[in-house]
């Protein structure tokens, strides 16, 4: 049953775009292509498949070039270096011409077959349909860590964030236009997707293990992701500084009063020497360093933005989407003239 307030869309003359971020995913590319084609064909829609080669060190460029030479519906965007998945998705979003755009990782951990469920919800009138990872093939420590992060992120964020939802999603053209209009370069797509609003819903799925190779994520990278998310969509760390300051001032005042009373009642009961002083100095120094690190993280985030460096740089494009018959015009991006293919 359709949710109240939603307006159903017609499936006639629809074009879907798939944007796939590729890094060390050359073995998975042929399977991704075949499964996407089968899915789109089953839905009976026009489609385009945009692979973003984020300067993958394997032979992805060769595999993708061969694929683009065989199928004109396949576009390949080659970056000059590795800019990360967020830069890759941004690059694809800015050239996609579909009525809706699907974002997928190139390692096949985002099953293309789930797009059918996304599409059904989109036809009901939802503007954003994202995948909810109810289960993932990973170690118990990683599963617990991911779940803890998403709940912490949701609690800390100043906009409602869906739980256990990655970048895998279907975005209506209006949402894509809104995302492309945002001027920030330090992008966190799943956070921006929630920030722009519109009508959103989730589809549960099991995230499988990579069929090829090993994950490029590490503890350091995951901590970097968490830091980027928190400092992009939360002011809680700054509020923490205020709470620490209030707590420290209150504790200091109480301690001072206690020491005065004890000194008057029993002068020998108050400890003397440098031990207490050293402990207090180290405690205060630790709090100050913590506060400086929080402030420094926000400053670093702002510094990245004010430099106005682009999120990505395109080296070349094969089969540009805008050249296809019936494609809507693609304008210039905020930072890079992506319609100048080089």
> Considering only CA atoms, which of 229, 93, 105 is closest in space to residue 171?
93
Helix/strand/coil for 235:
coil
- The pLDDT of residue 293 is 77
Length of the chain: 342
DSSP string, 180-212: HH---SS--HHHHHHHT-SSEEEEEEEEPPPSS
C-alpha distances in angstroms, 100 versus 17, 124, 273? 6, 13, 71
Q: What pairs with residue 205 in β-bridges?
A: 133
pLDDT in tens for each of the 342 residues of the chain? Answer: 556 656 566 666 889 999 999 988 888 888 889 999 999 998 988 899 999 998 888 888 888 988 988 899 999 999 998 888 888 899 899 999 899 999 998 888 889 999 999 999 999 889 999 888 877 666 676 667 777 777 777 767 767 878 777 888 999 999 999 999 888 878 888 888 888 888 998 888 887 776 665 665 556 666 666 666 676 777 777 777 777 777 777 777 777 777 777 777 776 666 665 556 766 776 777 777 777 877 777 777 677 777 777 788 888 888 888 666 555 555 433 333 333 333
The rounded distance, in Å, linking the Cα atoms of 2 and 6 is 7
- The pLDDT of residue 189 is 85
- The pLDDT of residue 17 is 93
Contact between 107 and 328 under an 8 Å Cβ cutoff? The reply is no
Contact between 78 and 316 under an 8 Å Cβ cutoff? The reply is yes
**In what helix (H) or strand (E) does residue 78 lie, and over which residues does it extend?**
strand 74-79
- Give residue 170's Cα distance to chain centre: 14
- The pLDDT of residue 20 is 92
Contact between 78 and 53 under an 8 Å Cβ cutoff? The reply is yes
- Give residue 259's Cα distance to chain centre: 51
The rounded distance, in Å, linking the Cα atoms of 169 and 89 is 11
> Considering only CA atoms, which of 169, 166, 162, 170 is closest in space to residue 123?
170
Label residues 17-49 b or e (16+ Cβ within 10 Å = b).
bbbbbbbbbbbbbeebbebbbebbeebebbbbb
- The pLDDT of residue 292 is 80
pTM (predicted TM-score): 0.73
Cβ neighbour number for residue 290 with a 10 Å cutoff: 14
- Give residue 66's Cα distance to chain centre: 30
- The pLDDT of residue 248 is 74
């Amino acid at each position: 049953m359709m949710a109240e307030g939603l307006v159903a869309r017609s499936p006639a003359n629809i074009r879907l775009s798939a944007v796939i971020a590729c890094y060390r995913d050359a073995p998975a590319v042929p399977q991704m292509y075949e499964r996407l084609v089968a899915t789109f064909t089953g839905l009976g829609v026009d489609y385009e498949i945009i692979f973003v080669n984020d300067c993958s060190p394997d032979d992805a460029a060769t595999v993708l070039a061969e694929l683009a030479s065989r199928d004109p519906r396949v576009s390949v965007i080659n970056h000059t270096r590795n800019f990360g998945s967020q830069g890759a998705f941004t690059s694809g979003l800015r050239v996609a011409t579909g009525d809706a755009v699907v974002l997928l990782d190139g390692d096949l951990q985002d099953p293309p077959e789930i797009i059918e469920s996304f599409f059904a919800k989109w036809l009901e009138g939802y503007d954003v349909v994202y995948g909810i990872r109810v289960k993932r093939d990973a170690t118990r420590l990683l599963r617990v860590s991911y779940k803890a992060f998403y709940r912490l992120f949701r609690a800390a964020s100043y906009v409602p964030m869906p739980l256990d939802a990655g970048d895998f999603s279907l975005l209506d053209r209006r949402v894509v236009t809104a995302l492309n209009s945002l001027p920030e370069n330090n992008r966190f797509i799943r956070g921006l997707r929630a920030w722009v609003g519109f009508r959103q819903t989730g589809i549960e799925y099991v995230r499988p293990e990579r069929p090829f190779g090993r994950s490029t994520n590490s503890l350091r990278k995951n901590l970097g992701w968490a830091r980027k998310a928190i400092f992009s969509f939360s002011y809680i760390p700054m509020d923490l500084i205020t709470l620490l300051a209030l707590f420290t001032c209150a504790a200091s005042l109480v301690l001072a009063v206690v020491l005065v009373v004890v000194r008057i009642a029993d002068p020998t009961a108050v400890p003397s020497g440098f031990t207490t002083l050293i402990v207090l100095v180290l405690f205060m120094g630790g709090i100050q360093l913590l506060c400086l690190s929080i402030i420094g993280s926000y400053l670093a985030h702002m510094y990245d933005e004010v430099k106005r460096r682009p999120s990505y740089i395109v080296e070349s494009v094969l089969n540009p989407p805008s050249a296809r018959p019936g494609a809507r015009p693609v304008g210039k991006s905020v930072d890079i003239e992506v319609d100048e293919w080089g």
